[in-house]
Amino acid sequence: MKAAVSLGDLVARGLVEAAEAPALLPVEQSFRIRLSGAMQGAIATRDDPVARQFIPSVQELDIKPDESGDPIGDEVHSPVKGLTHRYPDRVILHVTKTCEVYCRFCFRREAVGDEGHLSQDEIIAALDYVSVNPAIREVILTGGDPLVLSPRRIKDLVERIGAISTVDTLRIHTRVPVVAPERMTEALVSAFETRLTVILVLHANHAAEFTDAARAGLRAMQRAGIMLLSQSVLLRGVNDSLPALEELFREMLRCGVKPYYLHHCDLAKGVSHFRTTIADGMALMRGLRGKLAGPLIPTYVIDIAGGFGKVPITPDYVVAGATPGEWRITDWRGGVHDYRDPHCTTDAQSVQTILQKA
Ligand code: SF4
């Protein structure tokens, strides 16, 4: 099935009612539309969790005052075109602005959609920056979606990064294995033959996105020695329930993918209808504990607006008591237990004091 790339295509395929289209025109003018063939096939009803991620809504026109075009601060830390250097030991290389799908909640929704990739000269300039900064140990390919590049271009990029002796790890952030599994060819898998440790971070948000073709592509990557991790976004109306998250993470592990990050929905423009509260997210994480084994549970994280980085949001299982060494610990059923740390006898050994010194 061909990708749907306009409101007209969505109407023609019965994914948007003709009567709804006029109200959606301003959405199409603001944010790109693209829905891959595989994801059209995964949609069962117009309002299901897959459809909600890709079919435009008039709610996207409701832009809140604290929403921004660059909610995680990519531009704040960009020393060279196409490169973000936020943390000392890693850089993000935005190799393309193109994706196989345009997700309605994307935190880069104002940056993605331009056809076109970084030019060869721009890639060389970005990698020159990496090679003169030996503290950089990891290059993360993102976009857009880096796996829309041809296997030949990816192989060339992998070889150039592998030639920088100070880099150990190559990470790829992608939605392609689920949204366009036909791209997971032998040529693509073999493009990642390198001395580098390669980590593929799959972006998927609902178990219904996984097809047999997606499962086969992910297993092929795993057989090639590529480490498979995931990132998902907690999305109201898509996966903000314990059964949806449980099934998503079980499906990932069935495909050899370790659930890694569950992102709190960023402050991108026009996505407030997808955003849960942090309290809701913490309650869901607490609910998963005990239901799922440890390897199935990702870390719930938030990117601090303005480019200050990502931090975990953890339900408070352990809180300090009144005196140093005293703790109150909550188990997965909600039972509260006192714990006396036998090694902590003075205030100098309390967490706050140690953190202040660090
Ligand atoms: S595939 Fe990724 S970069 Fe592209 S629109 Fe979706 S979330 Fe954004």
Ligand 1 atom closest to the Cα of residue 175 is 1
- Residue numbers belonging to the annotated binding site for [4Fe-4S] cluster: 99, 103, 106
Give me the chain's average pLDDT, please.
93
**287-297 confidence digits (pLDDT tens):** 999 899 999 99
Active site (annotated) includes residue 152: no
Domain presence at residue 241: yes
Give me the mean pLDDT over the 155-173 stretch.
Answer: 98
Ligand 1: distance of its center to the CA of 103 in Å?
5
Active site (annotated) includes residue 261: no
Q: In this structure, which residue's CA is closest to atom 7 in ligand 1?
A: 106
Same domain, 343 and 214: no
| Secondary structure (3-state) at 225 | coil
**34-48 confidence digits (pLDDT tens):** 999 999 999 999 999
**Of these residues, 52, 97, 104, 108, which one is catalytic?**
108
**Of these residues, 34, 52, 70, 99, which one is catalytic?**
99
Same domain, 241 and 301: yes
Band of pLDDT at residue 149, cut at 50, 70 and 90: very high
Give me the mean pLDDT over the 317-326 stretch.
Answer: 87
Same domain, 39 and 181: no
Same domain, 86 and 40: no
Task: Please tell me if the CB atom of residue 145 comes closer than 6 angstroms to any atom of ligand 1.
Answer: yes
Same domain, 27 and 110: no
Residue 133: both structure tokens together? 């900064």
Same domain, 223 and 295: yes
**175-198 confidence digits (pLDDT tens):** 999 999 999 999 999 999 999 999
Note the pLDDT of residue 334. 87
Band of pLDDT at residue 305, cut at 50, 70 and 90: confident
Give me the mean pLDDT over the 54-82 stretch.
Answer: 87
What is the total count of domains within the chain? 3
In the block, residue with structure tokens 């480490």? 227
Note the pLDDT of residue 283. 94
Query: Would you say residue 255 has pLDDT above 90?
Result: yes
Beta strand ranges found along 4-152 (DSSP E): 83-87, 90-94, 138-142
Active site (annotated) includes residue 254: no
Task: Please tell me if the CB atom of residue 105 comes closer than 6 angstroms to any atom of ligand 1.
Answer: no
Query: Would you say residue 94 has pLDDT above 70?
Result: yes
Same domain, 37 and 86: no
Q: How many C-beta atoms surround the C-beta of residue 295 within 10 A?
A: 9
Task: Please tell me if the CB atom of residue 106 comes closer than 6 angstroms to any atom of ligand 1.
Answer: yes
- Yes or no: say if 183 and 212 are a contact pair by the CB < 8 Å rule: no
Lowest mean pLDDT among 19-33, 60-74, 88-102, 112-126: 60-74
Q: In this structure, which residue's CA is closest to atom 6 in ligand 1?
A: 103
- Yes or no: say if 280 and 235 are a contact pair by the CB < 8 Å rule: no
Band of pLDDT at residue 349, cut at 50, 70 and 90: low
**330-345 confidence digits (pLDDT tens):** 988 889 999 998 887 7
Active site (annotated) includes residue 106: yes
Query: Would you say residue 348 has pLDDT above 70?
Result: no
Ligand 1 pocket mutation, candidates 102, 261, 274, criterion most atoms within 8 A of CB: 102
Cα four-point dihedral sign 98, 230, 108, 273: positive
Q: Which domain holds residue 16?
A: 7-58
Give me the mean pLDDT over the 163-173 stretch.
Answer: 98
Active site (annotated) includes residue 310: yes
Same domain, 53 and 195: no
Same domain, 167 and 250: yes
d(CA 67, CA 306): 11
Domain presence at residue 69: no
Active site (annotated) includes residue 265: no
Ligand 1: distance of its center to the CA of 173 in Å?
10
| Secondary structure (3-state) at 107 | coil
